[in-house]
Structure 1
Amino acid sequence: MITPPPFISLLSIYTLFFKIGAFSFGGGLTGWVYREVVVARHWMEEEDFLSGLALSQIVPGANIANLCIFVGNRLRGTMGAAAALIGLLSAPFFIVIGLLSIYETIAAIGWIRAALDGTAAAAVGLLVLMAWRSGRKTGGRWSSIAVMAATFIAVGVMRWPLVWVVLVLAPISVALAWPRKDENAGG
């Protein structure tokens, strides 16, 4: 049986998720939320948290945002969910705004502009290399080459939205590859 959580203030919920959002980079947020909510503060039972974790991974959206909404909702309802989500997102929001301000200030400096242009060129080079290697892996199959070319033309040249292009071309690609026996497929 799930015991109701103790009364937690909205400020406490906001502060916890603000700290998690401000000091986290990359993965591991789920573990941090678990440690803070279940182990350190005893705001939730482990079973309830794990149910929320499973739910947050199957509903659309970012898993950590979904988990924060779940935890906040369990603790204080809709206002708790809002406090948790706003807390998680407010620090990164202001950090990005601050970085944008810094970027606009230093972007006019010649060597910084050159460094950013070089970084962009390297990123494009890596993308071309990945496309080249992916193309070689197709083994020259006309169907794979046709789907890759259609994707490039639709997104890169015609500027169609990637989501719609993938929704149309993915089933076509699967259908074209379906009858093929691949030696790596185990069949």
Structure 2
Amino acid sequence: MNEASIDESRPRVSHLELAVAFNYIALASFGGGLSAWAREMLVVRKRWMDDDEFLSAMTMCRILPGANQVNMAVFAGTKMRGGSGAVSAVVGLCCVPVLLMLVMGYVYFRFKEVPAIHGILHGASAAAVALTVAMVIKTGRKCLTGIIPIALFGLAFVLNGVLRWPLLVTLAIVAPLGLLWAWPRGRPVDDGQPAQ
């Protein structure tokens, strides 16, 4: 990707601002909840995307191979500053958390028998679950606006969340149904040819 792929309708964002924003996402989501913090930063605070674009990007990032938030950093960085922006966003997302993980790993394996460590980890997990539920509620209002989207959501939840079917199998069932439902019908197709 090159600088020509930058979305010119958005304000010019520096590489440092991209790195700092994604570093904030990574650090604020201690214990989990990365998607919730990504939405908070990219949609609510920075307004680099709207809810619809964030949901579309997050869907793509979850379907494609790799870590969801690294994919999101590449998406947002490329959108704002092209290929170099993608690098800035990924470095911002990963650099400090990797250093913290090395330190925390050392501390955990050195003091893992201390009961206070278990309490801290349980508290962080509860906060992460709450953030994820809050994001689902906020984004669900935007995309679950009819019977069919709610049914597709319910089907995916039952197949993957309740029955524990693999994600690829769930997607192989739900994605074609979603495409069939969303496919444009009865609208003229613009083939790029001038009207005669």
TM-score by length of 2: 0.48
Q: Which residue of 1 aligns with 2:80?
A: 75
CA gap of 1:103–1:54, structure 2 versus 1, over 3 A, is closer
Q: 1:47 to 1:100 in 2, by over 3 A?
A: closer
- The match for 2:62 is 57
Q: CA RMSD in A?
A: 2.5
Aligned match of 1:97: 102
Tell me which amino acid in the other structure corresponds to 2:18.
Answer: I
Letter in 1 for 2:30: F
Give, in whole Å, the separation in 2 of the partners of 1:84 and 1:8. Answer: 11
Where does residue 7 of structure 1 map in the other structure? 12
Q: Which has the higher Rg, Structure 1 or Structure 2?
A: 1
C-alpha offsets along residues 30-59 of structure 1, whole Å, 9 cap, x if unaligned? 121112111211112332222211110110
- Greater relative contact order (CA < 8 Å, ≥ 6 in sequence): 2
Q: Does the 8 Å CA contact 1:71/1:81 hold for their aligned counterparts? A: yes
Percent sequence identity over aligned pairs: 33
1:85 aligned residue (76, 86, 90): 90
Q: Per the alignment, do residues 98 and 50 of structure 1 end up closer, same or farther by CA in structure 2, a change over 3 Å counting?
A: same
The match for 1:177 is: none
The AA in structure 1 aligned to 2:95 is S
Counterparts of residues 91-170 of structure 1 (less than 5 Å) = 91-99=96-104, 115=113
The Cα of 1:103 is off from its aligned counterpart by 7.2
Structure 1 ranges of 4+ moved more than 3 A: 99-104
What amino acid is aligned across from residue 10 of structure 2 in structure 1? P
State the number of aligned residues: 108
Distance (whole Å) between structure 2 residues aligned to residue 95 and residue 31 of structure 1? 21
Residue equivalent to 1:156: none
- Tell me the amino acid that sits aligned with residue 65 of structure 2: P
Partner of residue 171, structure 1:
none
- Alpha-carbon distance in 2 for matches of 1:92, 1:16: 13
For residue 88 of structure 2, what is the amino acid of its counterpart?
Answer: A
Q: Following TM superposition, by how much is the alpha carbon of 1:18 offset from its aligned partner in structure 2, in angstroms?
A: 0.9
**Counterpart-to-counterpart distance in 2, 1:49 and 1:101:** 36
2:36 paired with 1:19: no
Q: Aligned-pair distance for 1:25?
A: 2.4
User: 1:98 deviation in Å?
Assistant: 2.8
Structure 1 gaps of 5+ residues are 117-187
Gaps of 5+ in 2: 1-6, 115-196
Q: SS state of the match for residue 60, structure 1?
A: coil
